[in-house]
A and B are shown apart, each in its own frame.
Chain A
């Protein structure tokens, strides 16, 4: 019932997001389908009553599925996957920044590449674990972990720059 509700409610939105990326209705339908399959496996974590959170979740998933499909279609290889695995040794100051306003964070998040933002969103807001995200987005746990670390560091650096 819940999955059906999700499907009826969000399939147009999901299709729109996928089609914007893929620019191919057939591929976009495939992306919606694939996204639903992944969502179905995580139904236990979806609070259908929280419309905004659910909407953001389905958009995040279909967005990632479509991007992955686009890469495959274009035979495009994302070398940043490897960059993610390179340990950034630069230490980032933490404590000083803790009192900053949410606006600074929003601005920093806006500058983040989407792949970092989506994973951070799933991890911090939707409270998915690293292994759950790894399955959801079909990335290795190591990549997910590194993207979370690097995403955080990028946000902190940006905030620091602005102060």
Chain B
């Protein structure tokens, strides 16, 4: 059979069918959806699309960046209390699979040189890499959904969404738990440094910078797709009149220079002054160096770069919530599959790759050495 002809014919038939449906629709009035439907869909979209978009960003914690930590948060604020199908789905997929067990998704793992911390639904697991001991720190607050985390000094910080949306922390010995910052509007991504919190709000993608001392807030952009902050700069990808732009500014001045992009990205990662953006749709990674776009032969839903090496979840291998985890040498162009059926991974301290294979509840966890890609544990 001529596959090309078959494909073309199927495409044509479907095109004709859709046209016929649209033609028939012209004679009918627009359906007014019920309130229950609208509410449930709104909740579902808010939750699932944020989750989806933020797959491409996670906590990066290099040894040299002790005080500068990225926290990725899913926006799922304001669930309606009822809602059969959608709510059930949210609970089973996004709560259970993403939050209901040890998961490194969306930056839910952090490392302080001794322990790897994993944020689960109502506990923080503290895993000692030297002794292989696992401890549980019970979280006391009533927040139903917790998101990403990072460790700084004697505290483990974690984001929470829902009625008490904000940033909280628990001491490493589990004795103290407190709210650090309230944020009632809800957010999908937050980055904290010594001075500011950079908050990507759930609603309309507004990027707000909040002074942690004074509490003063300034809205930098709306319609933000994603952003990245490093030691010196803030990088924002946002739409203006439906056109995607990259905005870059020094953190000190926040005076942004803008560059129009030829594609719509959904995530951004910056390493060695080079920008890596995954484009919407196929997740092809585009590198931008000095304003010049270069498409790399990589398709990654989530990626990190350290020392000219990228590790990423290969979007072309997606099956049953899992991907191949691939190592790619940006200099030589050599790539290698580190592990198949990877649900999630965390690059810890640029030395270890913690890999979660298979979706929860059947997950298995492995620790790899990032430098030689060998299995440690």
Question: Which A residues are within 8 Å of any B CB, using their own CB?
Answer: 1-4, 7, 11-13, 15-17, 19, 25-26, 28-30, 32-34, 36-37, 40-41, 43-49, 52, 55-56, 59-60, 94, 97-102, 105-106, 108-110, 117, 120-121, 124-125, 129, 131-132, 135, 152, 155-156
Also in contact, A1 and B49, with CB within 8 A (given A13-B25, A105-B6, A106-B13): yes
- Residue numbers of B with Cβ under 8 A of A are 1-3, 5-15, 17-18, 21-22, 24-25, 28, 30-31, 33-34, 37, 40-41, 44-45, 48-49, 52-53, 85-86, 89, 93, 205, 225, 264, 266, 280-283, 301, 315, 318-320
* Chain A min CB distance to B171 (Å): 37
Q: Nearest chain B CB to A72's CB is how many angstroms away?
A: 14
Residues of A within 8 Å of B40, CB to CB, are 33
Q: Contacts A1-B205, A13-B21 given; indicate if A33 touches B52 (C-beta within 8 A).
A: no
On chain A, the residues within 8 Å of B25 by CB distance are 12-13, 16
Chain A residues positioned under 8 Å from B37 (CB to CB): 29, 32-33
Q: Hey, which chain A residues are within 8 Å of B1, CB to CB?
A: 94, 97-98, 152, 155-156
Q: How far is the CA of A15 from the CA of B34 in the complex (A)?
A: 12
Closest Cβ–Cβ distance, residue A130 to chain B (whole Å): 11
The 8 Å CB contact of B281, one of A19, A34, A46, A125, is A46
Taking a contact as CB atoms closer than 8 A, the residue among B17, B205, B281, B301 that contacts A48 in the complex is B281
Seed contacts A29-B33, A33-B85, A44-B283; 15 additional CB < 8 Å A-B pairs? A3-B45, A3-B52, A7-B45, A30-B85, A32-B37, A36-B41, A40-B49, A40-B52, A44-B301, A48-B281, A49-B264, A101-B5, A105-B9, A117-B13, A124-B10
> Are B6 and A124 closer than 8 Å at their CB atoms?
yes
Known: A12-B31, A36-B44, A37-B44. A2 touches B49 (CB 8 A): yes
B33 touches A11 (CB 8 A): yes
Count of chain A to chain B residue pairs whose CB atoms are closer than 8 Å in the complex = 143
CA distance A60 to B24 in the complex (A): 17
Q: Do A106 and B12 contact each other (CB < 8 Å), given the known contacts A16-B21, A152-B1?
A: yes
| A47-B14 in contact (CB<8A) | no
A42: min CB distance to chain B, Å: 9
Q: Is there an interface contact between A124 and B34, defined as CB atoms closer than 8 Å? A: no
CB distance from A67 to the nearest CB of B (A): 14
Nearest B residue to A49, CB-CB: B281
Q: Which residue of B lies closest to A8 (CB)?
A: B45
Determine if A109 and B17 form an interchain contact, defined as CB atoms under 8 angstroms apart. no
| In the complex, residue of chain B having the shortest beta-carbon distance to the beta carbon of A43 | B52
Task: Give the shortest distance, in Å, between A45 (CB) and chain B (any CB).
Answer: 8
CA distance A43 to B37 in the complex (A): 21
Hey, which chain B residues are within 8 Å of A3, CB to CB?
A: 45, 48-49, 52
Choose among A44, A97, A117, A152 the residue with the greatest number of B CB atoms under 10 Å from its CB: A44
User: What residues of A have a CB within 8 angstroms of the CB of B45 in the complex?
Assistant: 3-4, 7, 36
Asked if B320 and A37 make an inter-chain contact with CB atoms under 8 angstroms apart, the answer reads no
Residues of B within 8 A of A44 (CB): 52, 283, 301, 315, 318
Tell whether, in the assembled complex, residue A98 and residue B320 are in contact, meaning their CB atoms are under 8 Å apart.
Answer: no
